[in-house]
Amino acid sequence: MSVRRVVLLVGAVLLVAGVIAMLVPVSTPDGNGGSIGCGNAISADLSSARAANDKNVVANVPILNQLVPHTDFVAQCQSAVSSRRSWSIPLAVVGLLVAGGSLLVGSRRGVGSTS
């Protein structure tokens, strides 16, 4: 197997891994052993987090000196989605560039060769 094909394979694997990571659902723990869905890295869905905040009466009450723990599920979801985007999008872009670069280098070498 040539180096160009190995590089193309590595780039394709990185691209597929990045796209799959963007499509896999993101969730955050709800504090009761369950989880709250937040959508995925392509499209965030914060409706479940807003509903969990509405159910949590303490979340809507101003807290003096933070005596009662305050859980903001919307902020946790936004953080989880942002974290997923911060590594999955660059992974997919690097995979695309590596795979595309290996195809471009291979096609240029094929055009100029006389054998």
**Among the listed residues 94, 59, 90, 92, the one whose alpha carbon sits nearest the alpha carbon of residue 73:** 59
Q: Give me the pLDDT at residue 69, please.
A: 60
- Note down the domain range covering 35: 3-112
Least confident of 8-22, 35-49, 85-99, 100-114: 100-114
> With 80 as the cut, is the pLDDT of residue 74 above it?
yes
| Number of domains forming the structure of the chain | 1
Alpha-carbon distances, residue 66 vs 59, 70, 78, 88, 106 (angstroms): 11, 8, 22, 35, 61
